[in-house]
Structure 1
Amino acid sequence: MRLSLLCLALSSHVIASVIQLPLILQSESQVTITSGGNALVSSEALQGDIDVENLLDRAKHLFELAKLSTDDYAHPTRVIGSKGHIATIDYIYSTIASLGDYYTITNQTFDAVSGNVFESRLVLGSHVPKSATPMSLTPPTSNKKPVFGPLVLVDNDGCEQADYPSNISGAIAFIRRGTCTFGEKSALAGKAGAVAAVIYNSGEGSLSGTLGEPSPYHVATFGLSYKDSQGYIEDLQEGKSIYSSAYIDSIVEKIETVNIIAQTKGGDAENCVMLGGHSDSVAEGPGINDDGSGSLTLLEVATQLTKYSVNNCVRFGWWAGEEEGLLGSDYYVSMLSNEENWKIRLFMDYDMLASPNYANQVYNATNEVNPTGSEELRDLYIKFYQSHNQNYTLIPFDGRSDYDAFIKHGIPGGGIAAGAEGVKTKEEAEMFGGTAGEWFDPCYHQLCDTVDNLNLTAWELNTKLVAHSVATYAKSFQGFPERSSIESKVAQKPFYWRGHKLVM
């Protein structure tokens, strides 16, 4: 694999070890190039340039990059800090740099939190609950060995120190989900002297989430389903003793990783259309659909766009650390001055565009609760599907992907997806084909998210829609609302997700 300008900055010893990005990377560096004077972009022309075989070739290459992590993770992955992810960043950067004089490229380095659970086991009384799942970014149990103690029921939702009884010291805290974040509950349990914590769901279903930003007070923490928790709650309320054990072997560490930003040199720099996808995968697999499909779509559209001139600038973003809690997009938006924030007329999020059991999903972003312009973007997607005689469904705009930071800072946003862990209904199977009762992506966040996991029909259609969205706004913002505020109506709205992980 040839080395790009970015890899040269990483230095040879880092390419050899690449467990984390090197400290010698500057916080932000740029390569500036100028644009040509080609014909003005049109939706029809840019869509016509989309070739699914190009997308498939890129996906095959991305899987080869994921394999670079096999020695360290025992399987292909592109999780941040891995060789597979650093190679992904290099591939994106070098591809854009090879396009000549069309884009200004920025690599933006930032601190991130990375975690991995190697082994875990929870025993409550004499039973091993099947739904027990370690929280993301959980610390290990003491000395990475099993800890033992009685299971102690915490009062209320465990969001106040007073909710933790005196006998919690040396025990395993049993905490109901609700009111505050999982991280706060774990830290309060740790402060009270608990050796581990189990947070059980307050409603139907299993519970898998993240503790978020590490705290020195966090203890090893599991999530547990509502169903599995009920018998233990009844026994504890009756005063029965449940001697238990918990074991987690995990690591939580600070690393450095990189966002890649590419902006057209041409076009009105005061009025930019921005789109993004994340460059990383989960540790459990190579992430060729999630979000290889989105990030490679951006790369292909950016490549084809160089054939044309634009009236408004187009800015592409490849975010790192989405799977760890939207880290890259959060950092990017947080670093924008008010002046730079104002230049972004809208942000379009493209995450998982090729799910095998797909549906054409459009985020239901309304102006009532989101920055004005979000609804107009939603309607552009709907009209595209309608014009191609395609069905579509509206899905919640609930903070589960990289649009989150943008809409919280007043920037209109939206996007499309082909589906993740949700179960396809009978009605959706009639609308889109596929199999009712199965996930839209049965390999979501798993080792089998490989090239074979891609639905090329869905990917081609959705990439053409991405091209349509780019060409439409690169040509004109006519009819699209002006930015009205950097403050957002969504800022006070409670969000229960950070990316694809529950936080509360």
Structure 2
Amino acid sequence: LQDIADSNPKYGGSRSIVNGANATAEWVYGMLKNHTDYDVAYQPFNISMFRDVEKPHLASAKRTYIPEENFLTIYNSGSGHLEQVHARVIPGGCAAEDFDQFQKGEIALLSREGPCTYRDIITQAIKQGAGAVVLYTTLQNAGPPGGRCVDCASVPVIAIDHGTAIDLLEQIASSKDGITLTIRTNTTQDTVTSLNVVATTRHGSDDHVIVGGAHLDSVPNGPGINDDASGSATTLELAIQFHKLGLDKKLKNKVRWAWWSGEELGLLGSHHYVEDLYANDPEALKKIKISLDWDMIGSPNYIRGIYNGHEAQNPDLRGPSGRIQDLLAEWFHSHDLATTWVEFDGRSDYGPFLNRGIPCGGVFTGAEVIKTEEQRDVFGGMANVAFDPCYHQHCDSLGNVWGPGLDVLEQNARALAYVMQKFAYEEDLDAWLKGDVPLVAAPIV
């Protein structure tokens, strides 16, 4: 997957939707056709794609900054032109009270590494009347962090690199009245066709299907090796080994391996898959009993996170999703590996399944959130540093996962192999999800 990102100059070292995502899908499809006998299929769908019509502009009174090197437009940003508008640093940015000193129409400068997600920070700034939003990173030597905002088409939203952040903050600190910025963005949306890949075992009950997978695409900024080549590669290896070892020949339940596209644009591939079934083949959707997701499972400053199914928003899913959670924890704890629960918020490709009442679960090793000292004491690594310092950046390459990231990736892959085998061989999956029966012993290979 790193090679795909590097293979074509027009990809710009990325596997994003407009660059190497379809090439990634074609490679996965070919591997499955060559190494398994699964029913392998593409699922094409159209995506409305954001782009800059012209290069964005950012300048202070002292300096004009360089697009892509010093700053970039956040995906889904609106168009706009603000000329020498006052810029104000907002601490936190997650709550309305953080903007008490903020004047409507000003430019909001906010740290991407805040106490909530950067998308929530952008949303709050727009809600409070920001004329434009500038996200800066506190990660030393980091480039402009990419990403995607939601419902942000009304104002320009840009991200700046660490060096530009220091420069602007120093200008603010040395000026009695603060600083003004000029920001200009001109953006639009185009339609492109992207590809999901799904591979279904030929054996097992058609009425009981287990879906497991990860997303294919990266952000435009880089190759996305942790996010989410780590999950895509694991899915491919599990699928191939499942066939190679003969585990797919005596299944009680069908297994459907999935590689979703468009995750970085808002879970578009998995959403299309689920909603297409809901609209055109609702009986097939009802036959999907479990959906497992593994997104970012090789973070270098990792936690061993398991989605907290016991706290699913839908009370009817807390029992079955909680049992999936407990089974994953069982494997880690049997190998003396500490785990923690992570928010079951639908942020990755299990979300569309969860929204249609399907029990879900999965693992996650962390993204842009800062590791606490307590988490450092449990999992090692470095406190006060992001779980993945290269999240959504060009440096999310092979080097990002080399070392501790590969160690935790292997642990996650083994845990996922364990639960996929268990579910595939369960005699009465419906009863197990209800908690009526213990899970059968699967052949462990």
Task: Tell me which interval the TM-score lies in, with the shorter structure as reference length.
Answer: 0.7 to 0.9
Match of 2:308 in 1: 364
Match of 1:331 in 2: 272
Task: Look up the SS of the partner of 1:107 in the other structure.
Answer: strand
Q: Structure 1 vs Structure 2: percent identity of aligned residues?
A: 31
Task: Return the offset for 1:245.
Answer: 2.0
Instruction: Give runs of aligned pairs for residues 102-113 of structure 1, distance below 5 A.
Output: 103-113=38-48
Instruction: Give runs of aligned pairs for residues 216-231 of structure 1, distance below 5 A.
Output: 218-222=154-158
Residues 41-93 of structure 1, C-alpha deviations (whole Å, 9 max, x = no match): xxxxxxxxxxxxxxxxxxxxx11111134x225x31100121x2222111111
Task: Return the offset for 1:358.
Answer: 1.7
Identify which of 364, 374, 398 aligns with 2:321. Answer: 374
Identify which of 74, 85, 90 aligns with 2:21. Answer: 85
Match of 2:5 in 1: 66
Query: In structure 2, how many angstroms separate the alpha carbons of the residues matched to 1:345 and 1:420?
Result: 28
Query: Does the CA-based 8 Å contact 2:208-2:289 persist in structure 1?
Result: yes
Structure 1 pair 409–436 and aligned structure 2 pair: CA distance change class (3 A) = same
Query: Structure 1 residue 289 and structure 2 residue 221: aligned?
Result: no
Match of 2:409 in 1: 459
Instruction: Give runs of aligned pairs for residues 12-23 of structure 1, distance below 5 A.
Output: none
Query: Structure 1 residue 343 and structure 2 residue 287: aligned?
Result: yes
Task: Return the offset for 1:132.
Answer: 8.7
Task: Look up the SS of the partner of 1:247 in the other structure.
Answer: strand
Query: In structure 2, how many angstroms separate the alpha carbons of the residues matched to 1:440 and 1:242?
Result: 33
Q: In structure 2, give the amino acid aligned to 1:197.
A: G
Query: Does the CA-based 8 Å contact 1:420-1:441 persist in structure 2?
Result: yes
Match of 2:378 in 1: 431
Task: Return the offset for 1:252.
Answer: 3.6
Query: Does the CA-based 8 Å contact 2:302-2:366 persist in structure 1?
Result: yes
Query: Structure 1 residue 480 and structure 2 residue 432: aligned?
Result: yes
Task: Return the offset for 1:369.
Answer: 2.4
Task: Look up the SS of the partner of 1:283 in the other structure.
Answer: coil
Task: Look up the SS of the partner of 2:208 in the other structure.
Answer: strand
Identify which of 135, 147, 159 aligns with 2:74. Answer: 135
Q: Where do 5+ consecutive residues of structure 1 fail to align?
A: 1-61, 158-167, 190-195, 202-206, 233-239, 484-504
Query: In structure 2, how many angstroms separate the alpha carbons of the residues matched to 1:418 and 1:214?
Result: 28
Q: In structure 1, give the amino acid aligned to 2:230.
A: S
Query: In structure 2, how many angstroms separate the alpha carbons of the residues matched to 1:200 and 1:214?
Result: 13
Structure 1 pair 110–181 and aligned structure 2 pair: CA distance change class (3 A) = farther
Q: In structure 2, give the amino acid aligned to 1:89.
A: A
Query: In structure 1, how many angstroms separate the alpha carbons of the residues matched to 2:309 and 2:332?
Result: 16
Query: Does the CA-based 8 Å contact 1:78-1:85 persist in structure 2?
Result: yes
Task: Return the offset for 1:390.
Answer: 0.5
Query: Structure 1 residue 410 and structure 2 residue 364: aligned?
Result: no
Q: In structure 2, give the amino acid aligned to 1:318.
A: W
Task: Look up the SS of the partner of 1:391 in the other structure.
Answer: coil
Query: In structure 2, how many angstroms separate the alpha carbons of the residues matched to 1:285 and 1:116?
Result: 16
Query: In structure 2, how many angstroms separate the alpha carbons of the residues matched to 1:241 and 1:367?
Result: 45
Residues 388-410 of structure 1, C-alpha deviations (whole Å, 9 max, x = no match): 11001111112221111111111
Residues 258-287 of structure 1, C-alpha deviations (whole Å, 9 max, x = no match): 111111111001111111200001111101
Query: Does the CA-based 8 Å contact 1:286-1:450 persist in structure 2?
Result: yes
Q: In structure 1, give the amino acid aligned to 2:357.
A: G
Q: Where do 5+ consecutive residues of structure 2 fail to align?
A: 94-103, 111-115, 136-144, 436-445
Task: Look up the SS of the partner of 1:480 in the other structure.
Answer: helix
Normalised by the length of structure 1, the TM-score is 0.65
Structure 1 pair 300–110 and aligned structure 2 pair: CA distance change class (3 A) = same
Match of 2:256 in 1: 315
Normalised by the length of structure 2, the TM-score is 0.73
Query: Does the CA-based 8 Å contact 1:119-1:248 persist in structure 2?
Result: yes
Instruction: Give runs of aligned pairs for residues 161-176 of structure 1, distance below 5 A.
Output: none
Query: Structure 1 residue 397 and structure 2 residue 353: aligned?
Result: no
Query: In structure 2, how many angstroms separate the alpha carbons of the residues matched to 1:403 and 1:336?
Result: 15
Number of equivalent positions: 379
CA RMSD of aligned residues (A): 4.1
Task: Return the offset for 1:465.
Answer: 0.8
Query: Does the CA-based 8 Å contact 2:253-2:423 persist in structure 1?
Result: yes
Query: In structure 2, how many angstroms separate the alpha carbons of the residues matched to 1:219 and 1:444?
Result: 24
Query: Does the CA-based 8 Å contact 1:287-1:449 persist in structure 2?
Result: yes
Query: In structure 1, how many angstroms separate the alpha carbons of the residues matched to 2:312 and 2:265?
Result: 29
Query: Structure 1 residue 248 and structure 2 residue 185: aligned?
Result: yes
Query: In structure 2, how many angstroms separate the alpha carbons of the residues matched to 1:374 and 1:200?
Result: 38
Q: In structure 2, give the amino acid aligned to 1:65.
A: I
Query: Does the CA-based 8 Å contact 2:328-2:416 persist in structure 1?
Result: no
Match of 2:33 in 1: 97
Query: Does the CA-based 8 Å contact 2:15-2:219 persist in structure 1?
Result: yes
Query: Does the CA-based 8 Å contact 1:421-1:442 persist in structure 2?
Result: yes
Task: Return the offset for 1:139.
Answer: 4.1
Identify which of 344, 351, 355 aligns with 2:299. Answer: 355
Residues 222-276 of structure 1, C-alpha deviations (whole Å, 9 max, x = no match): 5899xx99xx9xxxxxxx9986521236554221101111111110011111112
Query: Does the CA-based 8 Å contact 1:113-1:324 persist in structure 2?
Result: no
Residues 14-44 of structure 1, C-alpha deviations (whole Å, 9 max, x = no match): xxxxxxxxxxxxxxxxxxxxxxxxxxxxxxx
Structure 1 pair 182–426 and aligned structure 2 pair: CA distance change class (3 A) = closer
Task: Look up the SS of the partner of 1:397 in the other structure.
Answer: coil
Query: In structure 2, how many angstroms separate the alpha carbons of the residues matched to 1:244 and 1:459?
Result: 43
Task: Look up the SS of the partner of 1:291 in the other structure.
Answer: helix
Task: Look up the SS of the partner of 2:399 in the other structure.
Answer: helix
Query: Does the CA-based 8 Å contact 1:285-1:449 persist in structure 2?
Result: yes
Query: Does the CA-based 8 Å contact 1:124-1:151 persist in structure 2?
Result: no
Structure 1 pair 419–176 and aligned structure 2 pair: CA distance change class (3 A) = closer
Task: Return the offset for 1:120.
Answer: 4.2
Match of 1:302 in 2: 239
